A and B are shown apart, each in its own frame.
Chain A
Amino acid sequence: MDSRSDLSDPEVVARVLNGEQEAFGILIRRYEPGLLRYAARMLSSRDLAEDAVAEGLVRAYRHLASCRDPSRLRPWLYRIVANRCKSYLARRDAGDVSLEEAPPLADPVDNEAAVEQAEQMALVQRALATLSAEKREAFILKHVEGMSYEEMAVVTGERVPALKMRVHRAREALLQALEEHQ
């Protein structure tokens, strides 16, 4: 493994800004899995998630110097990818791009437990898709990406009390959707 992956975020940012372009790869390795997961859950599409994350990371690289607090790089990156996701969702509303309505089918599985898990996942994804984009984002950031309300504030630009309320509403809507889909 690249020994430089043990640098802290501000150190990696300093190296990238100092002309070590390849050091940006460390940040990609560090945050890409979470960003892809976030985008996939937001957009219900692998292809669009890849596009949103790739575009977001390129944008992050180009504007890296404007990240005011590099010790909080993670929520800053999520903010950029979240904005890409929002623009895809807006284009879907306008009919520019088509999203897969149903979540992708699970790979063929021969194990009963895996089948059940795949079914559960499909159910959860359908329930999640019924939430408004704002609520879906709030639930994912809080419970899937494990962010604090303060980090969520950096991602969304909203204030903490508003986000808390949004997470509460998201939990309620999700429980209800799960009951209806069951």
Chain B
Amino acid sequence: MNPIDPRVHQALDGEIPRDTLPPELRRQAERLEAVAALLAETPAIESVAARVMATVARPAPTRGRRLVRWFVTPHAIVLRMRPLWSVALAAGILFLAFFPVRETGPRLGQEEGVAQFVARFPDARSVAVVGSFNDWRPGSIPLEDVDHDGIWRASIVLPAGTHEYMFVVDGERWVADPLAGRYIEDDFGRENSLLIVRPTKR
């Protein structure tokens, strides 16, 4: 293998300007770049997006899923009912049709938004978020891991604006949020995560 002059490597790595190369070396650099440009053309390959999304949407059947399957599979169901009850049932259905269930969830003020906290702590017994919004009181905003997959979640109404926070794992371990994307010195030798809550319109 013929070694390339080190200056070609330096130019290709952006360490020296291209035009400082003598013409012969510049041709080598340009040749390699032309090759890269050809290879960078997007090949005509079909997207695998649908295939991937179909696979990830197919979890192992849970109890709920088995129940759904039971409902969608044909079964012979015999109902014996007095006419009076069938009238009551019809009235109930009509009531539900005219007075639909109201949208659930909290009423948000104009200057409030929703903060979503998510963190992975596979071996944790408890995870809480503490910050300037709850006077740094551990335990007052617990995250939940309903399906025991090690991913802890909480969706919290907070005043719009900037908040500093950390996670407290098992009541003692303080951890910055790896998903925060914004961090700020905490003046105690570590960093807090920084959250900017936008007002949510409903």
A65 CB to nearest chain B CB (Å): 4
B31 touches A61 (CB 8 A): no
Contact with A along B51-87 (1 / 0, CB 8 A): 1110111000000000000000000000000000000
B53 touches A24 (CB 8 A): yes
Report how far A15 CA is from B41 CA in the complex, Å: 32
A169 touches B42 (CB 8 A): no
A168 touches B9 (CB 8 A): yes
Task: Answer yes or no: B46 CB below 8 A from chain A CBs.
Answer: yes
Number of interface residues of A (CB under 8 A): 58
Q: Which residues of B have CB within 8 Å of A61?
A: 52, 56
Q: Which residues of A have CB within 8 Å of B56?
A: 21, 24, 58, 61-62
Number of interface residues of B (CB under 8 A): 43
Selected contact of A172 from candidates B3, B46, B51, CB within 8 Å: B3
Which residue of the partner chain B has the closest CB to A139?
B36
Task: Answer yes or no: A18 CB below 8 A from chain B CBs.
Answer: yes
Q: Which residues of B have CB within 8 Å of A71?
A: 181
Task: Answer yes or no: B49 CB below 8 A from chain A CBs.
Answer: yes
Task: Answer yes or no: B18 CB below 8 A from chain A CBs.
Answer: no
B183 CB to nearest chain A CB (Å): 11
Report how far A57 CA is from B52 CA in the complex, Å: 7
Known: A32-B47, A57-B48. A173 touches B1 (CB 8 A): yes
A93 CB to nearest chain B CB (Å): 22
Task: Answer yes or no: B88 CB below 8 A from chain A CBs.
Answer: no
Residues of A within 8 A of B (CB): 8, 10-11, 13-15, 17-19, 21-22, 24-25, 28-29, 32-33, 36-37, 40-41, 46, 49-50, 53-54, 57-58, 61-62, 65-66, 68-71, 107, 117, 120-121, 124, 127-128, 139-140, 143-144, 164, 167-169, 171-176, 178
Q: A32-B47, A36-B47, A175-B2 are in contact. List 16 more A-B contacts (CB 8 A).
A: A18-B153, A24-B52, A25-B53, A28-B47, A28-B52, A46-B45, A53-B48, A54-B52, A58-B55, A65-B151, A70-B179, A124-B39, A144-B36, A167-B13, A169-B1, A172-B1
